[in-house]
Amino acid sequence: MIAEAFKGKTVLITGSTGFLGKSIVEKCLRSIPEVGRINLAIRSSARRPAAERLEREVLASPAFKRLKDELGEPAFAKLAKAKLAVLELDLGRDGLGLNDAGRELIRSCDIVIHSAAAVEFDNPADLSAQTNLMGAARLVEALKTAGARPHLVHVSTAYVGGMLRGLVREEPPLDPGLNWRHEAAVLTTLRGPVEEESRRPEVLKRLRRQAQSRMGPAGTPAVARATERLREKWVKDRLIERGRVHANSMGFADIYSCTKAMAEHAVVDGKAWGLLKAHDAQRRRDRPPPRREQSACHQHQGVAPDRIGEVASERPHPGGQHLGHRRRHGVGLRFGGCPNGATHAGAGGHDGRR
């Protein structure tokens, strides 16, 4: 059914340089050979252009070892050249930094899989908000502006319910009672005041003393560089702490689940978008999935993995990252972001704190 849905279609995948994105690309190439074209949203870095990042950070990954072994290196290179293309876009910029050609390309996409995310539990608050929340909102807005009509698959997380106890049913979208626009405005503007605070005379004097104690008799330029590194760390640590405190006050264990929860509402708030939360537990035969809301413009599917990072026995390669392996067998899982938390793959939802 999935292969038929992808047959001849043009696909856009964000986050393809991450381990989940690589697995999605590999799965498409290996299991859906009749897919039309796969555009990979990759941003040029300070060290490498986007096309080089595709070769060195995506295709060189062990995730493609099985496919390379099956096809041989020449045939794999030919397949990648025929099926894959790079689309340079920046989720951190309004309009994604696209030119006219880029907007035309996303307008031609039939399926968009948004897997780009800052997945660390202790990221600085502004980074998590910019990537997880605003990145999703900007993508939806860019698709609408371009007149695109794709089926959007938004990769979320099973922990968007926050620190709830008891049976938590998956009824899309789970409303944490937050205004995502207000939260985005707060979180994305935290860095300025923290940077200003880091340059207060008493803070700089303290950091300079620390640098001098570490550098010993080093000259002024070396101490100045060390002081600046300490100042940057000071800023990062405080943004991490503010993100943690902010998330806890909103009922979440960490800034990751907090910003992903708000991202779901940002995506759904794109007016003409419906939502299907496609958890493994909901796809069990003893519980039908919720009704998919549709519009004349778009379809949107929210995929919420409950566990990323299991060790694979076979796919995409032995010892590699695997998605949700234990959950499909109904085994309770510990969640590292919440010390007292566990999930269980019951038919009715998450049993226990999410």
pLDDT at 293: 36
pLDDT at 344: 36
pLDDT at 251: 87
Mean pLDDT of 127-150: 92
Residues 265-297: pLDDT tens digits?
888 886 434 333 333 333 333 333 333 333 333
Q: Is the pLDDT of residue 17 over 50?
A: yes
Confidence category of residue 54, pLDDT binned at 50, 70, 90: very high
Spell out the CATH class of 2-179+254-351: alpha beta
Q: Is the pLDDT of residue 244 over 70?
A: yes
Q: Are 300 and 276 in contact (CB under 8 A)?
A: yes
pLDDT at 161: 77
Q: Is the pLDDT of residue 136 over 60?
A: yes
Indicate the range of 102-106, 192-196, 253-257, 328-332 predicted with least confidence. Answer: 328-332
Confidence category of residue 166, pLDDT binned at 50, 70, 90: confident
Indicate the range of 88-97, 148-157, 325-334 predicted with least confidence. Answer: 325-334
Mean pLDDT of 250-255: 90
For residues 125 and 269, the model is more confident at 125
pLDDT at 288: 37
pLDDT at 160: 82
Q: Is the pLDDT of residue 63 over 60?
A: yes
- pTM for this structure? 0.76
Mean pLDDT of 187-210: 95
SS (H, E, C) the chain: CHHHHHECCEEEEECCCCHHHHHHHHHHHHHCCCECEEEEECCCCCCCCHHHHHHHHHHCCHHHHHHHHHHCHHHHHHHHHHHEEEECCCCCCHHHHCCHHHHHHHHCCCEEEECCCCCCCCCCHHHHHHHHHHHHHHHHHHHHHCCCCCEEEEECCCCCCCCCCCEECCCCCCCCCCCHHHHHHHHHCCHHHHHHHHCCHHHHHHHHHHHHHHHCCCCHHHHHHHHHHHHHHHHHHHHHHHHHHHHHHCCCCCHHHHHHHHHHHHHHCCCCCCCCECCCHHHCCCCCCCCCCCCCCCEEEEECCCCEEEECCCCCCCCCEEECCCHHHCCCEECCCCCCCEECEECCEEECCC
Average pLDDT, rounded, for the chain: 78
Mean pLDDT of 53-64: 93
Mean pLDDT of 89-106: 90
pLDDT at 239: 97
Mean pLDDT of 236-253: 93
